[in-house]
Amino acid sequence: MPVMRHSRDQLIQRIAQAIEEKKVISLITFYLSDYGEMAMHLVLERLLERFERPDLLDIVYTCLKELVMNAAKAYLKRILLTDMGLDPLNPDDYEACMAVFKQNLPEQKMRQFKPRFKELNMPVTVTFYSEPYHALKIKIKNNFTLLPKEEERIRDKFRKARNYQDLMEFYMEHSDATAGAGMGLSLVCILLSQVGIDRHLFSIYSS
C-alpha cells in the first residue's frame, strides 16, 4: 500500500486499514524528511502493537532510520564519483571520493542533494511485511549494487560488532571515529542484540 502525503490522522487510518487487510506497506523517499520520519514511525508503531511488542519501538525505529539514511548515503557516493569523474573500482579513486563524501554528510549539506536524487531516480524504499510470516520483516532497498570496497567495509563492521555486547563498550573504543566510517551498521547490530534479537536476522545483500 503506497502511503502518500496525508495528515497524521489520515495516515493512522490508512495504516490501520492496510494492517487489517494484511497488506504489504511500502514507503518511498528520496531523502527522509520530517514527514517521512513520522510516516515510518507510525507504520512501525502500529505493526509492533499488532505483534504485542511495543517495547521494541524505540530501538527498532533507531535502527530503521539509520539504515534508510545509510541507503541514501550510498546514492550520495555514486553522485560524487560521477561528478568527480572517478572510477569506483579504483581503490585510490574510491578513497578520494570518500574524503569529499565525509564533507557532505552533515544533514544540511546532504539535504541539498535531494533534487539530484529525484532527477536521477534514486529512491529508498522501506517495505514492511507481516503476512504470511507471522513476524515483522522490514526491507530497505536502494537501486545500486554494492561496490567491492563497500562490501569489504560492511563485512568488517559486522565482524567488529560481534566483539561488543553493549553500546557503552562500543563507544568507549570508537568515540573518535570519523563521520562516514560505517559505524551505523555496528550500532544496528549491537542495538538489536541488546533487546534479544538475533544479529543474524539483520542482513545486507546485493543482487
Cα 20 to Cα 35, 47, 131, 132: the distances in Å are 23, 10, 11, 13
65 contacts: CB under 8 Å, gap ≥ 6: 32, 37, 40
Greater pLDDT, 164 or 32: 32
What pLDDT, in 10s, does the model give residues 58-113? 999 999 999 999 899 999 999 999 999 999 889 899 889 988 888 888 777 888 99
CA gap 88, 193 in Å, rounded: 33
> What local confidence, expressed as pLDDT, does residue 4 receive?
56
Q: Which positions ≥6 away from 48 have C-beta within 8 Å? A: 54, 56, 57, 60, 136
What does the pLDDT read at residue 178? 44
The pLDDT assigned to 153 comes to 82
Q: Which residue has the cell 521494541?
A: 56
Q: Quick one: cell of 102?
A: 565525509
Mean pLDDT for 39-54 is 94
Predicted pLDDT of residue 59? 93
Tens-place pLDDT, residues 187-207: 888 888 888 888 888 888 888
Contact in structure between 14 and 3 (CB atoms under 8 Å):
yes
What pLDDT does residue 179 have?
Answer: 47
Q: What is the pLDDT of residue 141?
A: 95
